[in-house]
Structure 1
Amino acid sequence: MSPLETHPGVFVVVVNLPPGYHQYKFIVDGEWRHDESQAFMPDPLGNVNNWLFIRRPEPTSPSAEQQQQASARERLEREQGGEETYGVSVQGTEQTTGIVQPLNLAEEMEITKKRVVEFLHTHTAYELIPESGKVVLLDASLPVRQAFHALYEQGIPAAPVWDGTKYAITGMISAGDFIHILRKLRSTSKQNHVLSEGDMDAHTILEWQHESLVETRGPRNLVYVKPEDTLQKVANLLVQTRVALVPLLSGEPDSQPEGQLLLHLATLSGILACLNRHFRASTASLPLLSQPLDRLPVGTWAVPRETSADAPWKLPEQRQILALKLHTPLTEALQLLLEARVSALPVLDDQGSLLDIYARSDIIALARGKTYSQLNWDEVTVAQALTLAHSAAAAKNAADHMQNFGEESMNSMTRACVISRKESLRTAVDRLSIPGVRRLLVVEAGTHHVEAVVSLSDVCAFLFT
C-alpha cells in the first residue's frame, strides 16, 4: 500500500494482473456492487461484474504502479468532483471521455426489452426451484370437501391433482374450481341453499374434472414446464394461458412415475424475482423501469393520462374498473369474478374510496369450521365474507406460522397492495415480485379512489413480450 500523490490520507494497493480479461466488484456499505459508469457484464452464474482487459505491456508503457495510481486518482476525482465525464485507462489503451446523453423512450424500451429477453433466454426454470420448500399433491379420488379443507389447512389456493389410475398428474384444482363447485351444489341443494357435508362428499375431484370436460367440450392438455425450459418459455406459457401457476415437472406427464416428479409451482412473480436478483446491482441497465406508471401502457386505467411525445406506444383508452361494495351479495361477487376472468376485485365504500379487495382465493376461508355448511348463501354479503377471510387468516397464522408454499401461500398474501400513479415501474416490479402479490391498485392520495389496476400479468406481458 502506498500513498496517492496530491490526495493526503488516500492509499493505493497495486495488484499486478496478467494480460487478459478480469472481472471485479466493489464493496459498498457491506454489499458487493459494480460501477455502472464502467464496463460491466454478467458472469456464468448470473452475477453482474465490472471488467477490464489488460494488454501485454509495451516497452515504453508506464509502470503498473503509475497506472494504478492514475486510475485511482481519476475515480476519486469523479466521486469528489461530480464531473459529468468519465474515462477508463488501462495498459496500452487511450483514455476516452464523453458526456452521457439522455435516452429517449424508444431507446429506453429497446435497451430494456433486449436485456430482459436476453436474460429470459439464457436462464432456465431450474432457477425458480427454491433451496428448501414443499409441494402438495391431491389425489383425484378425494371428495371435493376433503380437497377444500386440504387447501385451507396447507394455506394454498391451488394444487396439482394426481390420478393414481394413470400414474400421472392430470391437472390443477384451484379456488376458481371451488367457486364453480359451490355455485353448482348450491343450485341443486335441497336444504334451502345451505350446503351440507353430504353435498360436498357426493363428488370427487375426478368426477368434477370429468364434468368440467363435458362443459368445456373436450379435454385440455396439462399445462406444465420442465427444469430445462427457458424462463422465456415459462413466461410466455403463463401469460398466454392466463393461469397463475403451472407445475414444474422433472419429466413428461405420460412417462413413468419416477420420471415426472413435481418439483415446484412456477409463477410469474417467481420469474420477476429472478429478474430482480440478476439486475439488483445494475438497475440503470434497465432504464425503462425508471418511468412512472401513468406514462406506460400497463394496467387498466379509469382516469385520463398524458402520452409523452417520444413514446413508441399508444396508451389504451380509459375503462371502467369493476368493483364491489360491502353490501354486494357474495353470490353476485363470485359470479362477477368468474365472468370478468380476474383473480380479485376492489371493495369500495359509498364514496368510492378503497376499503379492501375480495379475491378468488378468499373462498378457501369458508373451509374453516365448515362455514360453507352454515351459511344461507342468498343472504351472505361481501362484508361478511371479508370478515370470514380475515378471521380465518388470523387463526391460521396464529395456529402454526407455517412457511410459504411455493410462490402462493394464502397466509402471506397482502390484502390490498397500493401504489401511486407517479411511482416507477421498478417499484411496481419490486412489489409484484413478492410471493402472493398478484395486483397493485393505483389510488389517489387524498381520496383513496382507485385510478387503475396494474396486475402481475400486465407488467410481465409488457416486459417479456
Structure 2
Amino acid sequence: MFASAPDSGNGNSGVSRSLLIPMRFVWPYGGSRVFLCGSFTRWSEHIPMSPMEGCPTVFQVICSLSPGYHQFKFFVDKEWRHDEHQPFVIGDYGVVNTIFIAREPDMLPPSFSPETPGRSNMDLDDVSSQMEAAPTISNADLEVSRHRIAAFLSRHTAYELLPESGKVVALDVDIAVKQAFHILHEQGIPVAPLWDSCKAQFVGVLSALDFILILRELGNLGSDLTEEELETHTISAWKEGKVHISRQMDGNARSYPRRLVCAGPHDSLKDVALKILNGNVATVPITQSSSPDGLFPQLLHLATLSEILKCICRHFKHSSSSLPILQQPICSIPLGTRVPKIGESNRRPLAMLRPNASLGAALSLLVQVI
C-alpha cells in the first residue's frame, strides 16, 4: 500500500529528500480499476489503488511524500477524474486536486518513522491523513438531502418520465396466455398492461410473477391447468384462476382481483413513487383519458422507481454537491445487506438457494419474496 514516488519539485526546492511523510489518498466513488497519478510521480507513473476491506467502492493508497505542494488526480476506469470535494485547481494537466504537506516532523504518527519497514494494511488507522476514507453524513446534511429531493419530487410530474420517442405495449385480456408471453419475449419487456374492451379500461398487468405461477401450476399434479390449455386459456381466465391460487397460498388473501394502480401524466413524481411503494408493485402505468368518466384511456408509459431515481440523478448531475447524501460511498447505505445491525432483528432474511436446488424450489422461493 505504501509507495515512495518521486517528487516533481513543485514548491519543494531545498527540501531534504530523506524526509518523507506517509499520506493516504482515497477515491470513495467506486470503479473497477483506480490509479493515482500526480506531480510526485512526475505525471508518468500510475499508482494502483486498492479497495478497502468491507467497502469495495472506496479505493485507497498510501504514498510517502516530501513536504510541500503537490498536485494529483485519479485515473478511474480509463477516465481522468478529480475529487470535487477536495481542494482543486486548473493546471497544465487539467483540473487537478492539490495537497500541501507541512514540513514539521510532528505530522508523523508516534508509532511510525520513515525508517519503519513494510507496514501492513492493518496499520492504516495510525497513518496521518487529510482525507477521509468513508465520511459519515451528519443529520443536518441528511435532512438537507431529504428536503431537496422531496421538493424536487413534489414540483416535477410524471410527464418528465415519458421518453421523446418509443413504444408501449398493451395486451388484450382475451388473447391466450401462451401468445401473451411470446409477445412479451419478442418485445423484450417484462410486463404489459391488460386492456379490457368490454370495460374500456386497463384492468391489470401481466408480469413475470404470472409466468412463474403458471410454471408452478404446470408442475403441480393436482392442477387443472395443462400445457395444452395454454394455447386457448385466456389472460382473463388466468387472472380469475390466479385469485384462487393466491387464496391457497395465503388464507387471508382477498377473493377478488386487486385494482390496477395507475397514475396520470400530471401527477407529481412523489405521488407516483408513493403509489409504487404503497401498492407494492414494480410498475405503474401512466395513462390519460379525454373522457370525463375516464374511459378509453391512452397508455403513455410504464413508470418505475428506477426511472424516478434516474430523473433525480439527471436533475442534480451538475450540482451533486447540493445533495450531501449522493457523496456517500454505497457501502454507507444499509441496502442489500445480509447482517442486521447489532440489536436489530433480521426481519427479512436473505433468500438463498443451493446450486443443486430444483427449479420448482427456486420458483416457489421467488413467489414468496416477490
TM-score range, shorter chain: 0.5 to 0.7
* Alignment partners' CA distance in 1, 2:255 and 2:223: 28
Structure 1 partner of 2:295: 256
How far residue 165 of structure 1 moved from its aligned partner, in angstroms, is 1.3
- 1:419-453 CA deviation, whole Å, 9 max, x = no partner? xxxxxxxxxxxxxxxxxxxxxxxxxxxxxxxxxxx
2:136–2:328: 8 Å Cα contact kept in structure 1?
A: no
Alignment check: 8 A CA contact 1:302 1:319 kept? no
Contact 1:301/1:319 (CA < 8 Å) preserved in 2? no
Contact 1:238 1:267 in 2 (8 A): yes
SS at match of 1:229: coil
The Cα shift of 1:189 comes to 7.4
Structure 2 counterpart SS, 1:180: helix
Matched to 1:204, the amino acid is T
Q: Which residue of 2 aligns with 1:220?
A: 258
Q: Choose which of 320, 329, 333 in structure 2 pairs with 1:292.
A: 329
- Alpha-carbon distance in 2 for matches of 1:190, 1:287: 54
Give the match for residue 182 of structure 1: 215
State the match for 1:426 in structure 2: none
Alignment of 1:28-427 (within 5 A): 105-187=138-220, 196=227, 198-214=228-244, 215=247, 216-251=254-289, 255-257=294-296, 260-296=297-333, 298-303=334-339, 317=346, 320-341=349-370
Q: Among the aligned pairs, what percent are the same residue?
A: 40
Asked if the contact 1:139–1:163 (Cα under 8 Å) also holds between the matched residues in 2, the reply is: yes
> Residue 67 of structure 1 aligns with which residue?
none
Deviations along 1:159-197, one digit per CA (max 9) or x if unpaired, are: 001111111111101010121122223325799x9x53x
Q: Separation in 2 of the partners of 1:160 and 1:81? A: 51
1:252 deviation in Å? 8.3
Query: d(CA) in 2 for partners of 1:146 and 1:185?
Result: 17
Opposite residue 120 of structure 1, the aligned amino acid is L
**Equivalent pair of 2:193/2:204 in contact (CA under 8 Å):** yes
Query: How many angstroms does 1:251 deviate by?
Result: 2.8
Give the Cα separation in 1 of the matches to 2:97 and 2:200.
68
Distance 1:132 1:142 in 2: 27
Structure 2, unmatched stretches of 5+, are 1-83, 100-134, 248-253
Residues 109-158 of structure 1, C-alpha deviations (whole Å, 9 max, x = no match) = 10000000000000000000000110001111111111111111111111
Q: Which amino acid aligns with 2:270?
A: Q
- Looking at secondary structure, tell me which structure has more helix per residue: 1
Letter in 2 for 1:228: H
Using a 3 Å threshold, how does the CA distance of structure 1 residues 103 and 209 change in structure 2: closer, same or farther? closer
Q: Secondary structure at 1:237's aligned position in 2?
A: helix
Contact 1:300 1:319 in 2 (8 A): no
Distance in 1 (alpha carbons) for counterparts of 2:273 and 2:359: 33
Check whether the contact 1:185–1:199 (CA below 8 A) recurs between aligned residues.
no
Tell me the alpha carbon deviations over residues 349-390 of structure 1, each in whole angstroms, 9 at most, x when there is no partner.
xxxxxxxxxxxxxxxxxxxxxxxxxxxxxxxxxxxxxxxxxx
The offset of 1:256, in angstroms, is 3.1
CA distance in 2, matches of 1:121, 1:275: 12
* Distance change (3 Å), C-alpha of 1:108 and 1:139: same
Residue aligned with 2:263, SS: coil
Count of matched residue positions in the alignment of Structure 1 and Structure 2 = 238
- Aligned-residue CA RMSD in angstroms? 3.4
1:108 Cα deviation (Å)?
1.2
Q: 1:63-104 deviations in whole A, cap 9, x for unaligned?
A: xxxxxxxxxxxx99xx99979xxxxxxxxxxxxxxxxxx995
Q: Is the contact made by 2:191 and 2:206 (CA closer than 8 Å) also made in structure 1?
A: yes
User: How far 1:295 sits from its partner (Å)?
Assistant: 3.2
Structure 1 residues 149 and 270: CA distance shift in structure 2, 3 A: same
Q: 1:202 to 1:119 in 2, by over 3 A?
A: same
Q: Distance in 2 between matches of 1:177 and 1:305?
A: 35
Unaligned runs of 5+ in 1: 1-34, 37-74, 84-101, 307-313, 342-465
1:177-218 deviation per Cα after TM superposition (whole angstroms, max 9, x unaligned): 121122223325799x9x53x231242101112223454312
SS in 1 for 2:285: strand
Q: Which amino acid is 2:176 matched to? A: P
User: TM-score, normalised to structure 1's length?
Assistant: 0.46
The residue type paired with residue 357 of structure 2 is T
When the two structures are superposed, what TM-score results if normalisation uses the length of structure 2? 0.57
CA contact 2:171–2:194 (8 Å) conserved in 1: yes
1:220 Cα shift?
2.2
Secondary structure at 1:160's aligned position in 2? strand
Q: Judge conservation of contact 1:135–1:262 (CA < 8 Å) in 2.
A: yes
Q: Measure the CA separation in 2 of the matches of 1:81 and 1:299.
A: 31
8 Å CA contact 1:300, 1:318 repeated in 2:
no
